[in-house]
Each structure stands twice: as structure tokens, then as C-alpha cells.
Amino acid sequence: MLVAERVRVREIDDDEGQRLLRIIRRGSGSVVTWRRAQMVLLSAQGMPVAKIAEVTFTSVDRVRDVIHNFNADGFDSLYPKYKGGRPRTFTLPERREIKKIAKSRPTEHGLPFSTWSLAKLADFLVAEGVVDDISHEGLRVLLREEGVSFQRIKTWKTSRDPDYAAKKARVEHLYAIADGEVIPEEGEPEVVLCLDEFGPLNLQPHPGRQWAERGGRHKDPGREPRPRRRATYTRPHGVRHLFAAYDLGKDKLYGHIKPKKNRTRFLEFCRYLRSLYPPKIRIAIVLDNFSPHLTTKRDSRVGDWAAANNVEFAYTPTNSSWLNRIEAQFTALRYFTLDGTDHASHKEQGSMIRRYIIWRNRHADDQRLRAVVDRANVA
């Protein structure tokens, strides 16, 4: 019985071996060239094709093709043959997938290292077929354009929610529907809202920034003293809470100010949101696990109302409220309505918040507003 000959690179001399080693050690240039050189060198070292495929995170057929091409064309086969002109621009789905993988942990993909380097990330993207090829510099520029940077790791709470993966996947799927990346199937929501509470809203001087005459040695001797914030020894006016929702499709913000944030007030706001859309349109509301949002054995009003009104509540995993896109809108709201203010009454404070929401919905493309929201999204 004849046994097929094992695929292996042709005999290479010392000069060719050193050249392959230089390509691999350099780590710059095309990721495709680096990967092909790695496969050829491993084959020259006697490693079988199946093992090479396992080490380089690719298929056995791919390794065989690289070895056959090298045996036929030599080092020319290591360099990809690109057409002339401007390099291909990555599509929006490709950019989103690159950003998603960059923000994930390598261990989530079964890789034996704790953080991504540009070389490892580019290699993984090519191996997984996300892109055909991408240079390290091109990857760095793309991530910067997408608002992703290489940051120092700080401590945080890791979610212990047993349904973490399922909840996160559902929220991301709803976001894909809202962004137009996925066409909703029959029975899926057509409108996606993000809901959360903002507060408590106190009557107190809030720190902020303003234009004022400079002080120090350059100050004008005759200028008036810089205004200072008053002290609040007592706060007898109580607090208020803002129930807010963000329509991802329309890019609109809605808000009601309530004296309390309990289940009754929450359902009042949900009824208002439901009234904004025809009853036949199914809506999804992304929200956290705050107790008034939940259905309990003692109080099933939330679940009963959702079932009766064609509404889906998509809860973020425990300790993962950062998944809620409305958080970035709160950053802008605080910056434009509370920072540097000292409201005398809740009526005055609430009026400013309501007027800001109206202005924000009319000027959603305002560059300064976008800058604040983008910074919050990156953080």
C-alpha cells in the first residue's frame, strides 16, 4: 500500500535559513509575509504540517499551499502580490470586528497571553480571516480612528453573572439592529432604547469651569474679586431623579424628572416611552439590574406590563452597566447642565435639564456635543 509523501519544504541552505529568520525577527512589514516565512521555517525545522497549522492558528490546507508555493517560487512566494493604487479601505463591519477583538482579552480566544500587542493582534486578525492583510502601523491608525488606545490597566469588578455571555450577546445583537447592521427577524424589536436613572439631583453648587480674568502676578490690580461658590450647610429641599431613555435609531434623548425612583415611577416612564411608538411595533429597552427594573415574586408588575405591551427588557450583566449606551449621554448632560451651576430650586434645575434635552435633540450633530459623547464612549 502506497503512503502519500509528507508535505515538506525543500532543502534550504544556511543563507536562506538566515533570511527566513530575519523576516520573522524583524516583525515589521506585511503580516502575511511574516506568517508565510514562519510556516516555511517551521517546516524546514522538521515540524509536520498539522502541527504547523496548530502553532500558527490556521488550516492545514493553508500551510500546504504556502509550502508548495515556496518550493516552486522561492522567496517571491512569501510576498503578497497586491495590485497598484490605493490600499483597500476596510469596510464598516471589518472595522467593527477589529475593534471588538482589540477590546477583548486574548484568553477569550484561547490564546496563551494576557494582552494584545500590535503584532499579535494583526496576526490573529489575518489567521481568523477578519482581514486578508494589515500592517502594524495600519492597525494602529485604524484603532486610533475608532477611539481605541493602548491604556494602562486598572482594577475593576469582573461580572460574576452566570448568564454574562448570553446577556451581553443579546444587548450587542440589539445594538446591531439599531445600527442597521442586522435586519430584525419576525418577532424581534424594531426600536431599541437605552434607559437609566440620572441623579440624585441636589441643590448645591457644582464645580465647573468658566471664563474669568486671570489671577496671580498677571492679574489686573483693579479687577473685582473672583466669584466663589456659596457654602451649603443644610439642604432642606430634598433630591430629584431623572428617568432618561435614549433612542438609538433616532438619536433622541427623552427624560422625566421624578421625586423618587421606585417601581411605580419606573413604569410611569415606560408607559410614556411605549406611547411614542405604534402598539404593533415591538420595542426593546436596554437597562441595568436596579431592583425597580426587575420582576420579583412579590411584585410582577414589570414583567406583566412588558408582556402586555409588546416590550422586551434586555438587562445588562451584573456589574456591566457600561454596556448601556445612555451612560455617554449622561456625561454630556452633566457637562452642559450641572457643571458650574448653583440652582436655587428644583424647578429651575429641572427646567434647565428639560431645555437642554430639547436643544440636544435639535442639535444632535453639534460638534462640541459629539466630542463630549465620544470621549465618554472611549472611556
**CA nearest 290: which of 261, 268, 247, 256?**
261
pLDDT tens by residue, 257-309 = 999 989 999 999 999 999 999 999 999 999 999 999 998 888 999 999 999 99
Are 275 and 264 in contact, with CB atoms under 8 Å apart?
no
Q: What's the gap between Cα 190 and its chain centre?
A: 22
Please give the average per-residue pLDDT across 337-349, as a whole number. 86
| Gap between the terminal Cα atoms of the chain | 64
Q: What is the pLDDT of residue 1?
A: 47
> Residue 162 carries which DSSP code?
T
Classify burial at 157, counting beta carbons within 10 Å of its beta carbon; exposed 0-12, middle 13-18, buried 19 or more: exposed
Greatest mean pLDDT among 81-90, 105-114, 186-195 = 186-195
Cα 339 to Cα 138: distance, rounded to the nearest angstrom? 39
Contact residues for 117 (Cβ-Cβ < 8 A; gap 6+): none
Q: Is the pLDDT of residue 96 over 60?
A: yes
Please give the average per-residue pLDDT across 25-38, as a whole number. 76
Q: pTM above the 0.85 mark?
A: no
**Cell numbers 408588575 label which residue?**
301
Contact residues for 336 (Cβ-Cβ < 8 A; gap 6+): 356, 369, 372
Are 353 and 333 in contact, with CB atoms under 8 Å apart?
yes
Q: What is the pLDDT of residue 50?
A: 87
